[in-house]
A and B are shown apart, each in its own frame.
Chain A
Amino acid sequence: AQSVTQLDSQVPVFEEAPVELRCNYSSSVSVYLFWYVQYPNQGLQLLLKYLSGSTLVKGINGFEAEFNKSQTSFHLRKPSVHISDTAEYFCAVSDRDNYGQNFVFGPGTRLSVLP
């Protein structure tokens, strides 16, 4: 079964500093990868997705992620964070087996941007 690891449960960073949130998944022939953001007491909002093509994917709010097949990683980056980026971030993987689509979320990383 597919699994997703987000190595850092919490990441504190100062405002305007760069940040990288790490995501690794278990190997599969063909996967689709997503990053979501969740603000307090809200649902999850799609930040970006990798389906195919260029391994560098740009999303909303200045975030980008790079798909690395050999390392089975999909790390999320932002060159300069704002206070408003404080939120929970979830990496997710979708693939397909004999029973249908599997959509698996990582445990989440809480990003805290400090003034």
Chain B
Amino acid sequence: DGGITQSPKYLFRKEGQNVTLSCEQNLNHDAMYWYRQDPGQGLRLIYYSQIVNDFQKGDIAEGYSVSREKKESFPLTVTSAQKNPTAFYLCASSPRTALSNQPQHFGDGTRLSIL
């Protein structure tokens, strides 16, 4: 079955450490997204990529970095510059169509906590 795989499910970070969250999809989708979710605050867009080797900042990109070297993969690095990284991180993907009428499909998330 096609889908989006996020790993690990739980991740712990020490102060001053960079960590990378994995997101892989086998849906053949062009577009991929990273969201941050805090309790009671809904989803906030961190970065998105419409095509391989290209990505754009979302609303809260500071302290994060991404790469899109392959269509299937869109890893997110939470850098030491992100002072409040504790959150639930969601990766999503969607087909890229002229009508923009396709829903986003989501992985099961990674919960990041600070030690």
Stretch of A19-27, A63-71, A75-83, A99-107 with 4 or more beta carbons under 8 angstroms from chain B: A99-107
Name A51's contact: one of B40, B90, B101 (CB within 8 Å): B101
Would you call the interface of chain A mostly helix, strand, loop, or mixed?
Answer: strand
Does B94 have its Cβ within 8 Å of any Cβ on chain A? yes
Contact A41 B111 (CB under 8 A): yes
Can you list 25 A-B contacts (CB < 8 A)?
A: A9-B40, A32-B100, A34-B103, A41-B111, A42-B108, A42-B109, A43-B4, A43-B6, A43-B92, A43-B109, A45-B106, A46-B103, A49-B103, A51-B101, A90-B42, A94-B102, A94-B103, A95-B100, A100-B50, A101-B31, A103-B33, A103-B104, A105-B43, A106-B42, A107-B42
Which A residues form the contact surface with B (CB < 8 A)?
A: 9, 32, 34, 36, 41-46, 49, 51, 90, 92, 94-96, 100-103, 105-108
List the 8 closest pairs (A to B, CB-CB), nearest first: A43-B106, A101-B100, A107-B42, A96-B100, A44-B106, A32-B101, A43-B108, A105-B43
